[in-house]
Amino acid sequence: MFELDVRSRKPIYEQLMDNIKELIMTGVLTTDAKLPSVRMLSKELTVNPNTIQKAYRELEREGYLYSANRKGYFVAPVDWIKPDEKLNELKPQFQQLIQEAIYLGLTKEQLVEWFEETTKGGNVDDSR
């Protein structure tokens, strides 16, 4: 379910966060789905429980998860994520990627094509 690269320079908790976000955005994890317990996931991935806890707490802070007292972590409804704040946070990263792609020869038509390919799955909300 989760793929971690121990040789990556990216911290394990960030890799785990990215994995969980991807599972949420692709619909594999749906609203109110329970995530594995910190202890269980720690054993499964052979990662320190504090690392798992850090990823879960950060995802909760960002609005992707919520915790229920003594019951664990669950996927939060999409409307809990503050889209304006998140989009403003993503914009500089996105612009940097677009600049690099343009430098490498990306055209506006190709960018539109990539956008359409990405939204074909029906999981991405392109109504904004």
Range of the domain at 36: 12-77
98 inside domain: yes
Beta bridge partners of 88: none
The Cα-based distances of 49 to 11, 13, 17, 75, 92 in angstroms read 14, 10, 14, 19, 32
- What is residue 19's predicted lDDT score, i.e. its pLDDT? 94
Say if residue 92 is in the same domain as residue 54: no
Clarify whether residues 73 and 91 are in a common domain: no
Q: Return d(Cα 126, Cα 119) in angstroms, integer.
A: 7
Q: What is the pLDDT of residue 82?
A: 67
Assess if residue 55 is contained within a domain.
Answer: yes
91, 70: one domain: no
Whether 96 is covered by a domain: the verdict is yes
Q: What is the pLDDT of residue 80?
A: 62
Is 2 within the bounds of a domain? Answer: no
DSSP string for 87-124 = HHHHHHHHHHHHHHHHHTT--HHHHHHHHHHHHTTS-S
Tell whether 67 is covered by a domain: yes
Same domain, 26 and 50: yes
Q: Are residues 88 and 63 in the same domain?
A: no
Predicted local distance difference test score (pLDDT) of residue 127? 43
For helices 49-62 and 38-45, angle between their N-to-C axes, nearest 10 degrees: 120
CATH number at 46 reads: 1.10.10.10
**Does 7 fall in a domain?**
no
109 and 91 in a single domain? The answer is yes
The Cβ-side half-sphere exposure at 86, using a 13 Å CA radius, reads 12
Angle at 10 between CA 4 and CA 12, to 5 degrees: 45
pLDDT for residue 50: 97
Residues whose CB falls within 8 Å of the CB of residue 60, separated by 6 or more in sequence, listed in order = 66, 67, 73, 76
- Does residue 104 share a domain with residue 49? no
Please tell me the predicted confidence (pLDDT) of residue 85: 72
Task: Look at residue 128 and tell me if it is in a domain.
Answer: no
pLDDT tens-place values along the chain, 128 residues long: 788 888 899 999 999 999 999 999 888 999 999 999 999 999 999 999 999 999 999 999 888 999 998 899 999 987 666 667 778 878 898 999 999 999 999 999 999 998 888 887 644 444 44
